[in-house]
Amino acid sequence: MSIINIASAEEMLFQSLFQRRAIEIDASVKSKTLDLGCGQVPRNPFKCNTTVGCDINSGHPLVVECDLFREKLPFETGDFSAITAFDFVEHVPRVSIGETTRFPFVELMNEILRVLRTGGYFYSRTPAYPHAEAFQDPTHVNIITDKTWPTYFCGDNPVGALYGFNGGFKLVFQGWHGFYLLTILQKI
């Protein structure tokens, strides 16, 4: 069995996109990144000036405690230049049925859109269909495909609007690294 060095592959991806100017963080504005579901160590592949994490448990001064399935992000509108989600979105329920039917994944995408600056970037790394790794973890309740992001959250008329998504992203990059789908969206 070979070991995939995801960190090196992601670093090369970001370096390439920065060099090609496919990704530009405005250096004249104090840049800030948010890492969702980060655990104890928030990541900063966009090399922003400030790094903040958000997770259900916080034991680190840079990590804000928040239940991302049920709560709004505890940040101001337009607060971040970049937001990342490493091995996280597959854990966010698509539907929650109780007294009312909710769509936590769509709600989270609305919150990401809200706290992201116009022109800011959202990066997702997730095990995705058709790979078995998308299904093998029993806590994976949101199976992503290479069609999910562009169909439901990108363009002028995203399908996610049917479920309450109220914005739009532009697909900057999408590609596979092993069983991981790497996706970069830009807020339009």
**Confidence band (pLDDT; 50, 70, 90) for 168?**
very high
Domains of the chain: 28-187 (3.40.50.150)
pLDDT of residue 153: 98
Per residue in 99-158, pLDDT (tens digit) is: 999 999 999 999 999 999 999 999 999 999 999 999 999 999 999 999 999 999 999 999
pLDDT of residue 18: 64
Section 47-68 average pLDDT: 92
Q: Please report, to the nearest 10 degrees, the dihedral formed by the alpha carbons of residues 17, 117, 148, 170 taken in order.
A: -60
Q: Using the predicted structure, report yes or no on whether residue 17 has a pLDDT greater than 80.
A: no
Portion of the chain with pLDDT greater than 70, in percent: 90
Give the count of alpha carbons within 13 A of 139, CB side only.
5
Closest residue by Cα to residue 150 from 173, 118, 180, 179: 173
Q: Using the predicted structure, report yes or no on whether residue 1 has a pLDDT greater than 50.
A: no
d(CA 149, CA 114): 17
Q: Tell me phi and psi for residue 112, to 5 degrees.
A: -60, -45
pLDDT of residue 2: 41
